[in-house]
Amino acid sequence: MIVGCGKKESHEGATRIMTTEEVTEAEVATPEEATPEAMKATPDAASSQDARAKKEEAKTTEKVTTEEPTTEQQTNGKIVVLDPGHSSVVNGGTEPIGPGASEQKAADSAGTRGSTSGLTEYELNMQIALKLQAVLEERGYTVILTRPDNYTGISCSERAQIANNAGADVFLRIHADGSESSSASGAMGICITSSNPYVPGMYSESRRLTDCVLNEYVAATGLSSRSVWETDTMTGNNWSNVPTTLLEMGFMTNPNEDALMADPAFQDKMVDGIANGIDKFCFTD
Ligand SMILES: [Zn+2]
């Protein structure tokens, strides 16, 4: 059973489990701005000339200390929006399956759960998204996440709007699969069809992105490929007017794949494969 957004699936009770990464999501206090030296300088009572000189000196100091440091980090000019699927807070209600559509689908869904790891899908998706963000940033990409933590609810169309508003070069939706059969296995890419009525101009680049990501992902992980599923039933894909793919990374209901995907060393392979696919899409024709 595919458990991407907009598909019917079992709505399991979302258990709120604190993970290490969530604990570290606490707000970081903004450091107080340093008071400029010029503000501290008070006129010397002995001589107004001295005071003026001190002010000039302070200004010079201020100018030097407030100059923007030259950043050494090279950016490659590409923007990637990562969408870790689902959340512990499931956005309720329905929304149109695409712009102008009369057909409505659930705004979001609970996702699947690891049969061995005990992880929820939204936790695994977030773990991969955060690791992938770090790797992509090292490679020069600007990376934006659609949800900041596992307690933020967001609908599938809202996820796509974040990619649209960012003018993303890549919108990557990160999911894992679930099935009633514990033997179901493998990764799959999902993109719109060539006759998609909502964003018809997006097919060719979205299909190319899907191929790049899926092929590099299975090459890096050794997981089997279930190939690409072209469908116009995914709300988040139908609302996106940038190149979009949904990667089903593997089956959390398969004990072997679930254990692998929860393993930090294997996650590094998963993330490398996805990043290689994004590189290939962005920098080859
Ligand atoms: Zn999912």
Please write the tens of the pLDDT for every residue from 20-37. Answer: 333 332 333 333 333 333
What is the pLDDT at residue 70? 53
What is the pLDDT at residue 9? 37
- For the CA atoms of the chain, what is the radius of gyration? 24
What is the pLDDT at residue 63? 46
What is the pLDDT at residue 258? 98
Separation of alpha carbons 163 and 176, rounded Å:
21
What is the pLDDT at residue 175? 98
Separation of alpha carbons 273 and 187, rounded Å:
12
Residues linked to residue 203 through DSSP beta bridges, in sequence order: none
C-alpha 108 – ligand 1 centre gap (Å): 9
C-alpha 246 – ligand 1 centre gap (Å): 9
Query: Which residue numbers in the chain have pLDDT < 70?
Result: 1-73
Q: State residue 170 phi and psi, 5-degree precision.
A: -140, 130
Q: In what order do the strands lie in the sheet with 170-177?
A: 142-145, 79-84, 170-177, 244-251, 187-191, 225-230
DSSP code for 202: G
C-alpha 4 – ligand 1 centre gap (Å): 4
- For residue 218, the number of C-alpha atoms closer than 13 Å in the C-beta half-sphere is 19
C-alpha 131 – ligand 1 centre gap (Å): 18
C-alpha 202 – ligand 1 centre gap (Å): 22
C-alpha 253 – ligand 1 centre gap (Å): 12
What is the pLDDT at residue 31? 35
Instruction: Give domain limits for the chain.
Output: 36-67, 72-283
C-alpha 169 – ligand 1 centre gap (Å): 22
What is the pLDDT at residue 33? 35
Which CATH superfamily, name and number, covers 72-283? Zn-dependent exopeptidases (3.40.630.40)
